[in-house]
Amino acid sequence: MIKKYKIKNFDFLLVLAVVMLAIFGILVVGSAKQDLQIKQIYGVIFGFSIMIIIAFIDYSFILKFYWVIYALNIVLLLATYHPSLGRKVYGAQRWIEIGGFGFQPSELAKILLILFFAQFIMKYRERLTSFYMIILNLLFLAVPLGLIYKQPDLSTSIVIILIFCTLLFAAGLNWKIIAGVLLVFIPSVTVFIILVLEEGQTIITDYQRNRIMGFLYPNDFIQYSYQQLNSVIAIGSGQLTGKGLNNNALTSVKNGDFISQAQSDFIFSIVGEELGFVGCITIILLVLFIVIKCLTIARRAKDLSGSLIAIGIAALLGFQSIVNIGVATFLLPNTGIPLPFVSYGLTSLLCSFIAIGIVLNIRLQAVKKV
C-alpha cells in the first residue's frame, strides 16, 4: 500500500499553490465571518495533514477496491435520507450528522466517482466505444447522480456530469459518438430551458426555477437576484486593490450585511471588495496553476487510471471554480457551490485536500516525461 518514493518526484510547487490558496481562504473567511476563521484554520491544518498522508498511499492499491468505493458512495448518499442520520439545511437534504459532526456526502461523491470511473474505464477501455459499455457507464453514473439531484443539489449534479464527460473524452471516446451526443444534447438543453421556464413545471423545484428567472430577468425577480446584484456591486467597489481585509468602511457592501452566505457561496465577493482586482486575479491564477499542474501530472502518469484521476480532479477544481466565480459575478444563475480551498465548508475543504493528495501520489509514481 505504501511504497518507497523519490523525494525529487514530490511536487512541492503544487503543494505551495494549494497552501497559498488555503491561506487566502482563511483570511477572507475570517473577514466574512470572524467566528468561523478558527474552524477554517483547523480545517486547513487537518486537511493538509490528510493530503500528505494520502500522497504516500499507492493509488493503484486504492483502485483495487473500486467496487467498494462505488458501494460506499451510494451508502453515504442514501444515509442523507435516513431519519436519524440525515439533516436538512436550507431546505436541502444533503447532510449526515454523527455525534454532532456534520458531513456532506455529495462533496466526497465527486472524488469517489472519479476513482471508480478511472478504474472501470481503464479495465474496459477496449470496449469503451461499444453501445453496451456507454449505456453501462451511464447507468453507473445515474444512480449516485439521481440521489444527489433529489436532495436537491442541481449545481453538484451539473459538475459531476461535466467531470464524467471529461473522463470519457480523455479516455479516447470516438469523436463521432461525441458529435452525435452534441447533436442531441444541444437541442435537448434548449427544450429543457423552455420547459423549466413555464409556470407550473415540475422538472425542477420552484426555488430553482425562480433563481433562473432572477438571472434572466433580475429586475422582475429582484428577490432572487439581489444576492448576485449585491455581489457584483461589492466586487466592483473594490476597484484595483480593495478596501482591505476586516475594514470598517461605511461603504462596504459586506459590512452592510447585503451579501448572504458571504463566507461560502459568495466568498469571491469578499475577495473582490476587500482585495480588489489584484486579489481576484491572484485567486484565479492560483486555481488555474493547480488545474494545469494536475493536467501536467496526468500526462506523466504511469497508467491510464492515474491519468484519468488527475484529469478528473483538474476538471472538478476547474468547473467548480468557474461555477462559483460565475455566480458571484452574475455570469451564471445563482447556485450554491464552494470555491475550492477558499470557501468556508469543512467537507469541501477536506475533500479538496484529499483530491490533491491523490494527484501528488500519481506524480510520485510518474514514469513519463512531458
**pLDDT, tens only, 128-159:** 878 888 889 999 999 999 999 888 788 899 89
Residues 6+ apart with CB under 8 A from 329: 231, 232, 235, 268
What was the pLDDT predicted at 68?
A: 96
Report, as ranges of residue numbers, the positions in the chain whose pLDDT lies below 70. Answer: 1-2, 89-91, 99-100, 182, 368-370
* Domain extent for 153: 7-364
What was the pLDDT predicted at 304?
A: 94
What was the pLDDT predicted at 2?
A: 65
Q: What is the pTM of this model?
A: 0.91
Number of separate domains in the chain: 1
Q: Which amino acid does the sequence have at 321? A: S
CA 368 to chain centre: 28
What was the pLDDT predicted at 205?
A: 77
Strand order in the sheet with 101-103: 86-89, 92-98, 101-103
> HSE-up of 133 (CA within 13 Å, CB side)?
17
- Rounded to whole angstroms, the Cα distance separating 74 from 56 reads 27
CB 313 within 8 A of CB 9: no
DSSP H helical segments within 33-65, as ranges?
Answer: 37-55, 59-63
Could you give the C-alpha distances from 224 to 214, 236, 261, in angstroms and in order? 5, 20, 14
Q: Is residue 89 helix, strand or coil?
A: strand
DSSP letter, residue 202 = -
| Structural domain includes residue 370 | no
CB 278 within 8 A of CB 244: no
| Structural domain includes residue 1 | no
Q: Is residue 88 helix, strand or coil?
A: strand
Residues 6+ apart with CB under 8 A from 365: 3, 5, 9, 58, 59, 60, 301, 302, 306
- Rounded to whole angstroms, the Cα distance separating 179 from 185 reads 10
| Structural domain includes residue 107 | yes
What was the pLDDT predicted at 1?
A: 64
DSSP letter, residue 338 = P
Strand 101-103 and strand 86-89: pairing? unpaired
| Structural domain includes residue 2 | no
